[in-house]
A and B are shown apart, each in its own frame.
Chain A
Amino acid sequence: AQSVAQPEDQVNVAEGNPLTVKCTYSVSGNPYLFWYVQYPNRGLQFLLKYITGDNLVKGSYGFEAEFNKSQTSFHLKKPSALVSDSALYFCAVRDYYSGNTPLVFGKGTRLSVIA
């Protein structure tokens, strides 16, 4: 079975500081990993994904994520947070061997960037 854990319901960071939103996963094979962001009253918006290759993946709006196979983690990072980054962030996973099946989403982490 596939699963994703986002251990923090809420992350607070000051504007200009680096931010990290944590995600750990469990799959039986190789993972495909995704990050989505949801702004208030909007749908989920794709940020970035890891398929294979370089463990550091760069995405939209200056976000990046680092795949760590030994720690089964895929943490989302940004060097300098903006107030406009305040939103709900979802990590998602799918097993490479599961074929064309839906992504499994975490419960989400609410990021609040304080000016």
Chain B
Amino acid sequence: DAGVTQSPTHLIKTRGQQVTLRCSPKSGHDTVSWYQQALGQGPQFIFQYYEEEERQRGNFPDRFSGHQFPNYSSELNVNALLLGDSALYLCASSLEWDTTYNEQFFGPGTRLTVL
């Protein structure tokens, strides 16, 4: 059983460009969350998708947007990249939304460098 997979592994972009990151959840999972982890920091919640809709959102600007597909995979899009967007972007999948507790399984992340 493949766990959470993310692509690409690494990405280098320049300021002002746009980027799309991809995530495939663990088999059987229907909820995908995205986190940004800056160097030396803990992951910060960006948003969560369930049933192809954004259900929760953290304190990130509208430059960050996402999508969930019918097969539960997800994309994270970032427009007008800033140097401060350089980070490890983590995707986490879980089963069911808004339950009391559910374990989130993390992928290996995509390391984005903005020059």
Whether both chains belong to one complex is answered with: no
The residues of A with any CB-CB pair to B shorter than 8 Å are none
The residues of B with any CB-CB pair to A shorter than 8 Å are none
